[in-house]
Structure 1
Amino acid sequence: MTDDTGEPAASDDDPATGGDPTDVPIDRFHEALEAEERPVATASEVARRLGTTQAAARDALSDLVERGDVDRLDVESDPVVFYPSDWGALASRERVVAFPSRREIVVDRPTQFTRARLSQFAYLVDTTGTEPGTRGYLYRIRQEDVWAAPFEDADGLIGSLRAVLPRRADHLEEWVRDQWRRAHRFRLYTHEDGYVVLEAANESLMGNVAESHLEDGQLRAPISETEAWVNEDAVASVKRALYDAGYPVEDDRDLETGDPVDIDLTTELRDYQETWVDTFLESRSGVYVGPPGSGKTIAAIATIAAVGGETLILVPSRELAGQWRDELLAHSTVDPADVGLYHGGEKEIRPVTIATYQIAGMDRHRSLFDSREWGLICFDEAHHVSAPVYSRTAELQSKHRLGLSATPVRETGNEEEIYTLIGQPIGADWDALFEAGFVQEPEVEIRYVPWREELARNEYVSADGRERRRLAAENPAKVAEVRYLLAAHRGKKALVFVEYLDHGEAIADAIGAPFVSGETPHHDRAELFRRFREEGSDLDVLVVSRVGDEGIDLPNAELAVVASGLGGSRRQGSQRAGRTMRPEGSALVYVLATRGTSEEEFAQRQMRHLARKGVRVRETNVAE
């Protein structure tokens, strides 16, 4: 007996038919077609691929036909075949491929739902493609991602993982559960007598892990088989040592918040900023990670208001200290008298104190900062914390520790140390912010500039090492290229970045623009930045040395030209591009590299870091 599809009919008494028909969403039908590697399929083929009965698949496919999602084709003497009504939907649908042994997930054309789920427990490594909505994404699940995952228990995390993957990955799930357990094996708490205690989940962890990885003097004395008295000055180093051993420490100490600070936020937060703040308040530590222009400072001010205790804000420069004060006054109700600056020019301790890393880490000032009961310490440009000259500031104690960074990566590969000293990453997918329109995605172009002067080329060929790098950076042809780009984008606020002072002065003279470097007096530098930011100002181009790579808020910059300095870090490349990332308007970045020199490789390396975050990068050979 056959049914109306031309296939053998199942008997009503056949237990294989089961009970009620199984619903087959259109996505499941697409999966069946992909598994068959054919554009059409019969009901029996769909049933086999989806693990259901033929009768159930037949009924479900009939429902899809009635809804108009699927068409059917009746061929005499052959079984009925089904195919999608909209072939474009099949070609453009999301595909998820997991590589459990490498703990990697590749997603082609991911939905916002999938990306939101993945951001909870995975790290976006790379993106491919050009147009939004057509890109492929590579995610990797790292230890620190599992440790910081926002779930009450491992089951919640595993459930989110299963919601994304196309099929179960038992080995990966076992690894995730193990990492989750590791993240809850040690904690610090304050004893009722006021000293700090390290507590392990069991005796073995205290004996085999803590004692073998901690140095003499970090623990003062055992309290029990699972507890030890911690030297007050060694809290940060204890956390770092156990983190390196694969056991992040939960910090539950009863730290004071200092005197209350009367401050409310006056700017409305975006949804993702609210999520950042809520996530931070739950754990009392973390690093806000997002592209320039995503509003990390506003989220930090909201965090300061939520904590409501004495706050220390650490910044890398005096310029950034002044900008922080302006931002606090512009976006909150804080009394100006409650905000103090502490750096080489001013030294005021207030309920909200903004200090430079260098000053706060100096011995003669350190005791003053140590004596305060900070409710919150905010580390702006947090990648500085792991640098030796600034690392002492990370030992300052606070009930809450917040970091801000667009790219918390150092070329030494010790970004994990940043998360150890401050907290786990809390951030948004750069590409998601671009697509949502919260941040303007920059257009990045590497322009390979030829040698146009034979003398300069010969001098480069004869040189070696560092001198060769300098000569490539100062290729005289770049001056004409900068002039050409500025003329092509006349009227745009532009920043021209350079590495060497002589090169900066040569370009500044050629285009008639001010040159800002470390040798520029502080008050002159501040005045130039003020004029550049001012609406209607006649100053629309600045040549800037490394002093402008970070911590300078120039929100109206529309064009960045990196004329030299390509031997720098990936983070430096992101920061320079980030000078143009803002919520509105165009964003253009040109990177000049002398053709046939090491600058080509340096440019590609720096911009590859941006490409992995979803930024489109193109390349152009400049004519001879």
Structure 2
Amino acid sequence: MTDNSSSSVGSDDGIDADETTAPADDRSDASQPETESDDETERSLTLAGFHDACQRAGRPVLTAGGVARALEYPRETVDEQLEALEAAGEVESLSVSTDPVVWYPSELEDLTDRERVVVFPKRREIVVDRPEQFTRAQLSQFAHLADTNGENGYRYEVRPEDVWQAPHDSFDALARTMRQALGQRSDELEDWVESQWDRARQFRLVTHDDGYTVLEAQSAEIMGNVARQKLDEEHVHAPISETEDWVREGAEAAIKRVLYEAGYPVDDQRELATGEELSIELQVRLRDYQQTWVDRFSEAGEGVFVGPPGSGKTVAAMGAMAHVGGETLILVPSRDLARQWNEELLAQTSLEADQIGQYHGGQKNVRPVTIATYQIAGMDRHRSLFDDREWGLVVFDECQHVPSDVYRRSTHLQSRHRLGLSASPIREDDRQTEIFTLVGPPIGTDWEALFEDGFVAEPELEIRYVPWGDDEQANAYGSADGREKYRIAARNRGKVDDVRYLLSAHPDSKALVFVDYLEQGRAIAEAVDAPFLSGETPHHERRRLLEEFRRNERELLVVSRVGDEGIDLPTADLAIIASGLGGSRRQGTQRAGRTMRPAGGALVYVLATRGTREEDFARKQLQHLGRKGMTVREQNVDIED
């Protein structure tokens, strides 16, 4: 078996020609090229001035007209002085089809070796080349890292939710942070950010002296034009005044969701139960970024910790528990995760065994810290047990599931503090905004920073295009329709040979092989002589196999979809995704994340049947990780006879 045709999956920074000129107000005297006279016609164009023009235009090459527009110089002057710079060897020219000549610096490293920030206010995007750590830290306070090309290029988006949850007490403080990050003042972008800042302060939920909940608006106009247009009798009983409505009991989460979707996040200031006091001390020291997460959570009282697998979200959540100092309910997707939370709490905190209870199909104990499954907590016959107890904090683990109909019912459990945890709070049904309305705003550190600082290893990702293992499956694929095509491609028997090849190529690696289909999992497990861990595997057997893998007593496991989120898989050196490419971007994140740990050298191989829709699925799933800073390669696979 051999590999060939290597290439890379990249991304486009998306810079449009119609937004390349910085606002005139942004041009301070210090940024202007040196001049010899006040007369415009005598302005001297230097190489530094040419670099400034490139920065304002957002391009490394410019026409003479582009330089003239960016610097507001006469076109005739620019033509003459560009020729002078070319004669001096400082810039070069190239004839192109769309314009007579474009110009660029002779030493392009002068342009690329330093940090450069380009702002696109209309698109609310910021493109940064070679950003310093300070710049990225400032940007993370009001912008979202949307894309990176893996070569020091970063694209940030300023979204409404980023402004709504910015960690500042005033807009002036936020504006100062923006100017520090951008190195300039962008009036158009600041005006939009200020409008969003104001939107986040138009509504709040408060507790009336008589105990019921009231929705308050900043003005009668905003109450009438927004809230009373969007809400109905399912949400509120009746108006109390021009700016106040009496909220129906249990409708708070729905009101927050409706107004959030209308572009008005609600400030929840209800006097919710804080629960009985419970002293919790951490036995480990939080990393700096984890402490930042906890500090931002403590200011808001709610939020979602977002970080890659291996970044320590669970430990940070324990830091939040210690801060709250009250009885805590932890909601998880499965009983396996409940057991693992129990073990981590005993190992990482001062809690004793009799202070922690589990409530699911295997155990039913409610204690000061209770770990329950979403399904159980949402059932009417069990929910009263949780409703009757006053929780100081509710933790929603793997909170990307919260918008689903089954899990959403658990969000009716109200607490003064709510905390979600997720490696990838995205949903293919585009309901991810509901995560932040039902739980809290996102709090996190961009993945690239964690990779650079060595807290989490960046795995190497490779898509491998595998030929059909036999003509029978290839012919069946050709005559199949829709979903059946996907199933046939996913179970391509040629993948069994490639799994064997990859395992033989990495004989010293601890490996996990992921599959979506039981039949395929059994075939691969038999071919490589390894256990197959699936939903059919009894809980005690799962536990034994995982412990053996964790203790390095077992080097290989084949795992079904049960390993994506329902259990805490140990980290591995090698992950092979044999099927599951039609799954979500979140699933790709979870599976790649099984190799993320401080030690480097991890590999992730994704097998896709060549010439089928699996190729597109693989790119879609992994481009999400590529935008987080990981390098993604592609390989064609040939199977030798």
2:451 and 2:549 mapped to 1: Cα distance? Answer: 25
Is the CA contact (8 Å cut-off) linking 1:263 and 1:333 kept in structure 2? Answer: yes
Question: 1:111 — aligned with what?
Answer: 132
1:548 to 563, 567, 574: 563
Change (3 A) 1:455 1:312: same
The alpha-carbon deviation at position 473 of structure 1 amounts to 0.8
The alpha-carbon deviation at position 222 of structure 1 amounts to 2.4
Whichever residue aligns with residue 212 of structure 2, its letter is Y
Change (3 A) 1:583 1:211: same
Question: 2:626 — aligned with what?
Answer: 611
Is the CA contact (8 Å cut-off) linking 1:376 and 1:400 kept in structure 2? Answer: yes
Query: Equivalent residues in 2 for 1:472-511 (5 A)?
Result: 472-511=489-528
Change (3 A) 1:172 1:417: same
Secondary structure of the residue aligned to 1:233 is coil
The alpha-carbon deviation at position 8 of structure 1 amounts to 10
1:195 to 208, 212, 223: 212
Is the CA contact (8 Å cut-off) linking 1:97 and 1:166 kept in structure 2? Answer: no
Whichever residue aligns with residue 194 of structure 1, its letter is G
2:287 and 2:145 mapped to 1: Cα distance? Answer: 22
Query: Equivalent residues in 2 for 1:114-125 (5 A)?
Result: 114-125=135-146
Change (3 A) 1:8 1:323: closer
Change (3 A) 1:33 1:102: closer
Secondary structure of the residue aligned to 1:471 is helix
The alpha-carbon deviation at position 169 of structure 1 amounts to 2.6
Is the CA contact (8 Å cut-off) linking 1:497 and 1:546 kept in structure 2? Answer: yes
1:34 and 1:620 mapped to 2: Cα distance? Answer: 36
Question: 1:560 — aligned with what?
Answer: 575
Q: Cα deviations across residues 62-105 of structure 1 (Å, max 9, x unaligned)?
A: xxxxxxxxxxx9xxxxxxxxxx9x98554311121111111111
Q: Is the counterpart of residue 352 in structure 1 residue 366 in structure 2? A: no
Question: 1:394 — aligned with what?
Answer: 411
2:190 to 152, 173, 180: 173
Q: Is the counterpart of residue 322 in structure 1 residue 339 in structure 2? A: yes
1:463 and 1:570 mapped to 2: Cα distance? Answer: 26
Query: Equivalent residues in 2 for 1:67-78 (5 A)?
Result: none
Whichever residue aligns with residue 543 of structure 1, its letter is V
Secondary structure of the residue aligned to 2:406 is coil
Question: 2:179 — aligned with what?
Answer: 162
Query: Equivalent residues in 2 for 1:575-590 (5 A)?
Result: 575-590=590-605
Q: Cα deviations across residues 543-569 of structure 1 (Å, max 9, x unaligned)?
A: 111100114323331111000111100
Is the CA contact (8 Å cut-off) linking 1:183 and 1:248 kept in structure 2? Answer: yes
1:28 and 1:147 mapped to 2: Cα distance? Answer: 38
Change (3 A) 1:622 1:8: closer
Question: 1:4 — aligned with what?
Answer: none
1:601 to 616, 619, 622: 616
1:119 and 1:491 mapped to 2: Cα distance? Answer: 39
Question: 2:27 — aligned with what?
Answer: none
Question: 2:535 — aligned with what?
Answer: 518
Q: Is the counterpart of residue 340 in structure 1 residue 357 in structure 2? A: yes
2:560 and 2:227 mapped to 1: Cα distance? Answer: 46
Q: Is the counterpart of residue 307 in structure 1 residue 324 in structure 2? A: yes
Whichever residue aligns with residue 620 of structure 2, its letter is R
The alpha-carbon deviation at position 576 of structure 1 amounts to 0.4
The alpha-carbon deviation at position 33 of structure 1 amounts to 8.4
The alpha-carbon deviation at position 165 of structure 1 amounts to 2.8
Mind listing any 5+ residue stretches in structure 1 that lack a counterpart? 1-6, 17-25, 40-44, 52-72, 74-83
Secondary structure of the residue aligned to 2:256 is helix
Query: Equivalent residues in 2 for 1:34-45 (5 A)?
Result: none
Q: Cα deviations across residues 132-176 of structure 1 (Å, max 9, x unaligned)?
A: xx3211111111111001111111222222223354332222111
1:169 and 1:118 mapped to 2: Cα distance? Answer: 14
Is the CA contact (8 Å cut-off) linking 1:185 and 1:200 kept in structure 2? Answer: yes
Is the CA contact (8 Å cut-off) linking 2:56 and 2:118 kept in structure 1? Answer: no
2:122 to 97, 101, 106: 101
Secondary structure of the residue aligned to 2:320 is helix
Question: 2:170 — aligned with what?
Answer: 153
Query: Equivalent residues in 2 for 1:81-100 (5 A)?
Result: 88=109, 90-100=111-121
Whichever residue aligns with residue 357 of structure 1, its letter is Y
Secondary structure of the residue aligned to 1:355 is strand
2:241 and 2:474 mapped to 1: Cα distance? Answer: 72
Question: 1:620 — aligned with what?
Answer: 635
Question: 2:304 — aligned with what?
Answer: 287
1:123 and 1:310 mapped to 2: Cα distance? Answer: 33
The alpha-carbon deviation at position 503 of structure 1 amounts to 0.3
The alpha-carbon deviation at position 414 of structure 1 amounts to 1.1
Query: Equivalent residues in 2 for 1:377-456 (5 A)?
Result: 377-456=394-473
Q: Is the counterpart of residue 223 in structure 1 residue 240 in structure 2? A: yes
Change (3 A) 1:590 1:33: closer
Whichever residue aligns with residue 428 of structure 1, its letter is T
The alpha-carbon deviation at position 585 of structure 1 amounts to 3.6
1:141 to 158, 166, 179: 158
TM-score w.r.t. length of structure 1 = 0.86
Whichever residue aligns with residue 121 of structure 2, its letter is P
The alpha-carbon deviation at position 340 of structure 1 amounts to 0.4
Is the CA contact (8 Å cut-off) linking 1:288 and 1:427 kept in structure 2? Answer: yes
Question: 2:252 — aligned with what?
Answer: 235
Q: Is the counterpart of residue 368 in structure 1 residue 385 in structure 2? A: yes
Whichever residue aligns with residue 322 of structure 1, its letter is R
1:8 and 1:493 mapped to 2: Cα distance? Answer: 64
Question: 1:532 — aligned with what?
Answer: 549
Runs of 4+ in 1 over 4 A off after TM superposition: 7-10, 26-30, 32-39, 48-51, 86-90
2:228 and 2:193 mapped to 1: Cα distance? Answer: 26
Which structure is richer in relative contact order (CA contacts within 8 A, separation 6 or more)?
2
Secondary structure of the residue aligned to 2:402 is helix
Change (3 A) 1:358 1:166: same
Change (3 A) 1:50 1:278: farther
1:27 and 1:313 mapped to 2: Cα distance? Answer: 57
Is the CA contact (8 Å cut-off) linking 1:555 and 1:582 kept in structure 2? Answer: no
Question: 2:18 — aligned with what?
Answer: none
Is the CA contact (8 Å cut-off) linking 2:149 and 2:629 kept in structure 1? Answer: yes
Change (3 A) 1:192 1:500: same
Secondary structure of the residue aligned to 1:374 is coil
The alpha-carbon deviation at position 423 of structure 1 amounts to 0.5
Question: 1:63 — aligned with what?
Answer: none
1:334 and 1:156 mapped to 2: Cα distance? Answer: 39
1:394 and 1:542 mapped to 2: Cα distance? Answer: 35
Secondary structure of the residue aligned to 1:184 is coil
Is the CA contact (8 Å cut-off) linking 2:530 and 2:558 kept in structure 1? Answer: yes
Q: Is the counterpart of residue 574 in structure 1 residue 558 in structure 2? A: no
Q: Cα deviations across residues 582-605 of structure 1 (Å, max 9, x unaligned)?
A: 122421100000000010000000
The alpha-carbon deviation at position 250 of structure 1 amounts to 0.5
Change (3 A) 1:608 1:38: closer
TM-score w.r.t. length of structure 2 = 0.84
Question: 1:127 — aligned with what?
Answer: 148
Change (3 A) 1:32 1:316: same
1:474 and 1:415 mapped to 2: Cα distance? Answer: 31
Question: 2:52 — aligned with what?
Answer: 31
Is the CA contact (8 Å cut-off) linking 2:571 and 2:596 kept in structure 1? Answer: no
Secondary structure of the residue aligned to 1:101 is coil
